C-alpha cells in the first residue's frame, strides 16, 4: 500500500516559499481553494502490505480497512508564534525539548550549513529510480522505510519517496522539487505539498507535525 502525496500549483495568491518563518505560513492558511492534486492516506504502510495497482479511491478504501492507522499528531504551534517570532525568538527555542512540533522553530539559515551541503544530503536520501520501482522495503538506519508515491501536477511520471528519510515537510518538499525539477522546470515557490487523510479531506502538508 502506498501513501500518495501531491505537489500542486496554488491559486493566484502566490506563496513566497514554504518557509515557516516568514509570513508564508499565514498566507498559506489564508488561501482558499487550493488545487488539491493527489491524495495520501493518513496511515503508514506495514512491511507486509502488498502494493497493488488501484485507482486512488480504491486505494484509500483499502487503507482504512486493512492498514493500521496512526493518527497524525495535532500541531501545537500557533500561527501567532510565526508573527511574533522576531520578538520572541528566545522563547521559541527554549521549548525545543518538549515541543514535538519542531518545524515551526526552525529558522531560515540556521544551522549555518551551506545550501549545497544540505542538497547533497537530500540527494543521498533519495532512493535511486531502480530501487524505487520494486517493492522491497529497504532497511536503513532509521528503521523501516515507508515508500510514498508522489505526483506533480503537469508531470506524467509518478515518483516514489521514502518519507522515513525526511525529518520535516520542508526537507521533503525541497527534495521533491529537486526530483521533479528534472522533468519540469519549476520555481520552488510555486508549489504546495498536499495530501489526503483517511477521511478523504484535502489538507495542506504542514498543519500537522512531521511525526
Partner 1 sequence: MNYFPDEVLEHVFDFITSHKDRNSVSLVCKSWHKIERYSRQRVFIGNCYSISPERLIARFPGLKSLTLKGKPHFADFNLVPHDWGGFVYPWIKALAKSRIGLEELRLKRMVVSDESLELLSKSFVNFKSLVLVSCEGFTTDGLAAIAANCRFLRELDLQENEVDDHRGHWLSCFPESCTSLISLNFACLRGEVNLGALERLVSRSPNLKSLRLNRAVPLDTLQKLLMRAPQLVDLGIGSYVHDPFSEVYNKLKIAIQRCKSIRSLSGFLEVAPHCMSAIYPICGNLTFLNLSYAPGLHGNKLMKLIQHCRKLQRLWILDCIGDKGLGVVALTCKELQELRVFPSDPFGAGNAAVTEEGLVLVSAGCPKLNSLLYFCQQMTNAALITVAKNCPNFIRFRLCILDPIKPDPVTNQPLDEGFGAIVQSCKGLKRLSLSGLLTDQVFLYIGMYAEQLEMLSIAFAADSDKGMLYVLNGCKKLRKLEIRDCPFGDAALLEDVGKYETMRSLWMSSCEVTLGGCKSVAEKMPSLNVEIIDECEQMEFNLDDKQKVDKMYLYRTLVGHRKDAPEYVSIL
At 127, phi and psi to the nearest 5? -70, 150
Q: Which whole-number Å values give the CA distances from 157 to 92, 151, 183, in the listed order?
A: 40, 7, 9
Cβ atoms of 3 and 37 within 8 Å: the answer is no
Backbone angles phi, psi at 169, to 5 degrees: -60, -35
Residue from 47, 53, 116, 130 binding partner 1 (CB under 8 A)? 116
In the complex with partner 1, the residue whose CB is nearer, 22 or 64, is 22
How far is it, in rounded angstroms, from Cα 172 to Cα 160? Answer: 12
By the rule CB under 8 A, 62 interacts with partner 1: no
**Separation of alpha carbons 86 and 83, rounded Å:** 7
4 to 23: interface string for partner 1, x by CB under 8 A: ------------x-----x-
Q: Which is nearer to partner 1, 55 or 116 (CB)?
A: 116
- Of the candidates 11, 58, 78, 96, which one interacts with partner 1 according to CB under 8 A? 96
Cβ(196)–Cβ(203) below 8 Å: yes
Smallest distance, partner 1 to C-beta of residue 173, A: 13
| Cα distance between residue 53 and residue 56, in whole Å | 9
CB atoms within 10 A of CB 74: 11
130 near partner 1, judged by CB under 8 A: no
Q: Pick the stretch among 25-33, 67-75, 112-120, 193-201 that binds partner 1 (CB under 8 A).
A: 112-120
User: Strands 192-196 and 159-162: what pairing?
Assistant: unpaired
Q: Going residue by residue from 163 to 182, which x/- string records binding to partner 1, judged by CB under 8 A? A: ----xx-xx-----------
CA distance 133 to 135: 6
Under rule CB under 8 A, residue 93 binds partner 1? yes
Out of 52, 94, 135, 158, which residue is the one contacting partner 1 (CB under 8 A)?
94
**Among the listed residues 29, 54, 70, 118, the single contact to partner 1 using CB under 8 A:** 118
Interface residue list for partner 1 (CB under 8 A): 16, 22, 86, 89-90, 93-94, 96-97, 102, 106-118, 120-121, 123-124, 167-168, 170-171
Amino acid at each position: 500500500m502506498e501513501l500518495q502525496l501531491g505537489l500542486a500549483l496554488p491559486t493566484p495568491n502566490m506563496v513566497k516559499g514554504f518557509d515557516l518563518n516568514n509570513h508564508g505560513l499565514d498566507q498559506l492558511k489564508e488561501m482558499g481553494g487550493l488545487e488539491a492534486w493527489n491524495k495520501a492516506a493518513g496511515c503508514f504502510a506495514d512491511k507486509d502490505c502488498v502494493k497493488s495497482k488501484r485507482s486512488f479511491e480504491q486505494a484509500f478504501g483499502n487503507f482504512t480497512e486493512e492498514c493500521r492507522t496512526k493518527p497524525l499528531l495535532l500541531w501545537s504551534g500557533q500561527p501567532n508564534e510565526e508573527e511574533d517570532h522576531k520578538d520572541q525568538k528566545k522563547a521559541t527555542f527554549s521549548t525545543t525539548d518538549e515541543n514535538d512540533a519542531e518545524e515551526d522553530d526552525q529558522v531560515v539559515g540556521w544551522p549555518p550549513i551551506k545550501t549545497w551541503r544540505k542538497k547533497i544530503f537530500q540527494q543521498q536520501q533519495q532512493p535511486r529510480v531502480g530501487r524505487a520501482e520494486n517493492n522491497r522495503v529497504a532497511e536503513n538506519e532509521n528503521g523501516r522505510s515507508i515508500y510514498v508515491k508522489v505526483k506533480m501536477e503537469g508531470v506524467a511520471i509518478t515518483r516514489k519517496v521514502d518519507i522515513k528519510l525526511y525529518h520535516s515537510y520542508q526537507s521533503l518538499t525541497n527534495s521533491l522539487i529537486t526530483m521533479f525539477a528534472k522533468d519540469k522546470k519549476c520555481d520552488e515557490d510555486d508549489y504546495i505539498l498536499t495530501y489526503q487523510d483517511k477521511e478523504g479531506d484535502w489538507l495542506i502538508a504542514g498543519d500537522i507535525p512531521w511525526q
